[in-house]
Amino acid sequence: MKTPFRILAALLPVFIAGLFIQSPSQAHGQASAPASPGVAHKSAPWTFAVSGDSRNCGDVVMPGIAAGVKQKGASFYWHLGDFRAIYTFDEDLLHQPENIAKPLNISSYLDHAWDDFIESQILPFSPVPVFLGIGNHDTIPPKTREQYDIQFADWLDSPALRAQRLHDDPRDRKIRTYYHWIEDGVDFISLDNATDDQFDAAQTRWLQKVLQADSADPEIHTIVAGMHEALPESISSNHSMDQSTQGTESGRRVYQSLLRAQNDAHKRVYVLASHSHYFMDGIFNTDYWRANGGVLAGWIVGTAGAVRYALPPNAKDAHAAETNVYGFLVGTVQPDGEISFAFQRLSESDIPAPVTERYTPQFVHWCFAENSAAH
Q: What is the pLDDT of residues 218-259, one digit of tens each?
A: 999 999 999 999 999 999 998 899 989 999 999 999 999 999
What is the predicted pLDDT for the residue at 20? Answer: 31
Average pLDDT over the chain, rounded to whole?
Answer: 90
Q: Between the CA atoms of 198, 202, 207 and 212, what dihedral angle is there, to the nearest 10 degrees?
A: 150
Residue 375: per-residue pLDDT: 76
User: Which pLDDT score is estimated for 271?
Assistant: 98
Please write the tens of the pLDDT for every residue from 304-362: 999 999 999 999 999 999 999 999 999 999 999 999 999 999 999 999 999 999 999 99
How many C-beta atoms surround the C-beta of residue 23 within 10 A? 10
Least confident stretch, 27-31, 51-55, 357-361: 27-31
Nearest Cα residue to 145 out of 85, 187, 211, 193: 193
Res 41: pLDDT: 64
Query: Does 16 score more than 90 pLDDT?
Result: no
For range 76-105, the mean pLDDT:
96
Arithmetic mean of pLDDT, 251-270 = 98
Residue 45 has pLDDT above 60, yes or no: yes
Distance CA 172, CA 152 (A): 18
Per-residue pLDDT, 29: 30
Residue 25 predicted with pLDDT over 50: no
Q: Let me know the angle formed at the C-alpha of 219 by 295 and 131, rounded to the nearest 5 degrees.
A: 70
Contact predicate 67/350, CB 8 Å: yes
* Mean pLDDT of all residues in 125-142: 97
Segment 143-157 mean pLDDT: 97
Report yes or no: 190 and 180 within 8 Å, Cβ to Cβ.
yes
